[in-house]
Amino acid sequence: MISIKNIKLGLAILTLLIFGLKTNAQTFVGKSIKINIFSSTPVEDIKAASTLGSAVISTQKQEIAVQVPIKSLEFDKKLMQEHFNENYMESDKFPSAKFKGTIEPVLDWTKDGEYNVTAKGTLTVHGVDQPRTINGKLSIKNGAVNFNSTFNVACAAHQIKIPSLVFTKIAEVIQIKIQGTLNPLTK
Amino acid sequence: MKKSKLFIYLFLLFAFIAMKASAQQVDSLLNSLDNAKKFNKVEATFKSPHIVLSHSTETQKKHDLDLRIRHHFGDIGGEFGSAHTLYGLDVATDLFIGLDYGVSDNLTIGFGRSKHDELYDLYVKQKVFPQKNDGGRPFNLTLLAQIGLVARKPFATTEFSNYSNRISYFIQPIISRKISSRISAQIMPALLVRSVTGDVNDPENLFTLGIAGRIKLTKRLSFVADYTMVNGLSRPNDLTLKYYNPLGIGLEIETGGHIFSLNFMNAEYIIENNFISNTQKSWGKGGVRFGFTISRNFSLFKSKNPDTKSTIY
């Protein structure tokens, strides 16, 4: 009987803990995340940008998930944009690029502050998953989360083929810049 | 005792469900925020606003100016072909120089001049609606209206007795569907209105029906073809001059930015106002010829946004 009482006591504590955590757990969402891509070769520099990325951060396990519709990336030359979607990214088949991972180290999400963080997880581009650890900066201010990161994506790692005829115009490694603001989710 | 155990199991089950739900929450939240559904227009049903002879449903991109030089050589075989004309390469049955400009993504205006009949043409091409990939609209619809003016001297004094005899009109609704990423199909009925015909039995108004398609052989190599039924529809088959239906086939090779086309066709002429009514060569009698297009695209009024600015060194 004593053991059951102990278990009950333990459960009560566990319940408190879970509910305690639940109330502490926050979810942040961002609807207009900025993404810039940059390809540089001695022949040509190509840039494209989107403001239609979306992101979710759940503080409970410090999960972060970011995605961008490939077709939302705008190029100066519309024909180049069509080729990018049609020939390289195959956007009809793979409409979005996505990253999902966990943020390290453990942060206090209730306090204002600026942190250098890493996100460990999976980057999905062109339907190909790659395990990645991405460095970035994260700041918490007045209850909103701001983040930015610059990282590289190798075309070959995601099976994006560049024909030899345009090899000089498109870089093998594309630089990605991402930044955005996430606000607490109001339930 | 038993009740307590049951209670513990139930509790653990609920706790597990609760934890799982919070893990799934990130994914479902992200899905609900996804903007990808906004981009439901089907793009690139055809690679170019032109297939081989005919127009496709595609238009120029906004503020893109396309300089287009087209060339149809002479007969490869038959009476006018063979090694004596280097299989037609000595001959130019028609030459065309033109400019196409995208006023918007959906509206293109074009102007050009052909060697044959010294034909000046002006066209307006409006994309009415695009195909949607979310089951909304199953096809693309584009309207084409083209006016042609024959500028050459009359062959007979009475030929252009009235100046309006020099003018012809071509109206064509174009319907296409990207069936899969590899296969696209198109159908285009049309009406050609002209004033001068070579035969009293040849009607001035020609109703035509065209079909066209694309098959992607590899990611960057496509087979394209278009065929226009003219004879036997509104035009009798027993005219003194023998006319044939224009058929063009081609290979499109994409080199990332430029499209290289190798075209073969029986039509001697390049613009609809000419080739629909005047194709007198046959695929069966060596009347097929080689044709090519050189096109150079200029993007005008580029956005000043530094985030999308591309630089060519």
CA B84 to chain centre: 34
Which residue range forms the structural domain that includes residue B274? 2-299
- Which distant-in-sequence residues (6+ apart) come within 8 Å of B218 by Cβ? none
User: Does residue B313 sit within a domain?
Assistant: no
Higher pLDDT, A158 or B38: A158
Read off the DSSP letter of residue A164. Answer: G
Supply the pLDDT for residue A132.
94
How far B285 CA sits from the closest chain A CA (Å)?
38
Supply the pLDDT for residue A169.
81
How far A66 CA sits from the closest chain B CA (Å)?
8
| d(C-alpha A50, C-alpha A47), whole Å | 11
**Which residue segments constitute the domains of chain A, with CATH numbers given?**
27-184 (2.40.128.110)
Select from B35, B42, B127 the residue whose CB has the most chain A CBs within 10 Å, as the one to mutate to test that interface: B35
Tokens of A23: 């109330």
> One digit per residue, pLDDT tens: chain B, 313 residues?
566 777 777 776 666 665 555 556 788 888 888 888 888 888 889 988 999 999 999 999 999 999 999 999 999 988 888 888 899 999 999 999 999 999 999 999 999 999 999 999 999 999 999 999 887 899 999 999 999 999 998 888 888 888 888 999 999 999 999 999 899 999 999 999 998 887 888 899 999 999 999 999 988 899 999 999 998 888 888 888 889 999 999 998 877 657 788 999 999 999 999 999 999 999 988 899 999 988 888 888 877 777 777 777 7
Across chain A, what does the average pLDDT equal? 87
How far B101 CA sits from the closest chain A CA (Å)?
13
| d(C-alpha B155, C-alpha B160), whole Å | 9
B63: left (phi over 0), alpha (psi -120 to 50) or beta: left
Please name every residue paired with A117 in a beta bridge, in sequence order, or none if there are none. Answer: A136
The predicted complex's ipTM stands at: 0.75
B2 Cβ under 8 Å from any chain A Cβ: no
pLDDT in tens, A71-120: 999 998 888 898 899 888 999 889 999 999 999 899 888 889 999 999 99
| d(C-alpha B225, C-alpha B185), whole Å | 10
Least confident window among A137-141, A142-146, B216-220, B306-310: B306-310
Contact A165 B25 (CB under 8 A): no
Contact A65 B27 (CB under 8 A): yes
Closest chain A residue to the Cα of B40, Cα to Cα: A92
Supply the pLDDT for residue A34.
95
CB contacts, 8 Å: A91 with chain B: 39
| d(C-alpha A57, C-alpha A37), whole Å | 23
CB contacts, 8 Å: B1 with chain A: 4
How far A170 CA sits from the closest chain B CA (Å)?
10
Query: Looking at residue B166, which CATH number applies to its domain?
Result: 2.40.160.40
Contact A100 B26 (CB under 8 A): yes
User: Does residue B308 sit within a domain?
Assistant: no
| d(C-alpha B44, C-alpha A80), whole Å | 12
How far A80 CA sits from the closest chain B CA (Å)?
7
Contact A61 B23 (CB under 8 A): yes
Sign of dihedral through CA atoms B262, B73, B228, B146? Answer: positive
Q: What is the mean pLDDT of residues A133-156?
A: 93
User: Does residue B211 sit within a domain?
Assistant: yes
Domain count, chain B: 1
CB contacts, 8 Å: B4 with chain A: 4, 7-8
CB contacts, 8 Å: A76 with chain B: 299, 302-303, 305, 308-310
Number of residues assigned to chain B? 313
Supply the pLDDT for residue B1.
54
User: Does residue B99 sit within a domain?
Assistant: yes
Q: How many CB pairs under 8 A join A and B?
A: 146
User: Does residue B309 sit within a domain?
Assistant: no
User: Does residue B208 sit within a domain?
Assistant: yes
State the pLDDT confidence band at A161, using cuts at 50, 70 and 90: confident
User: Does residue B312 sit within a domain?
Assistant: no
Of the candidates B30, B133, B302, which has its C-beta nearest A56's C-beta? B30
Q: Where are the beta strands (DSSP E) in A10-92?
A: 27-40, 44-58, 63-69, 74-75
User: Does residue B232 sit within a domain?
Assistant: yes
Of the candidates A11, A15, A47, which has its C-beta nearest B308's C-beta? A47
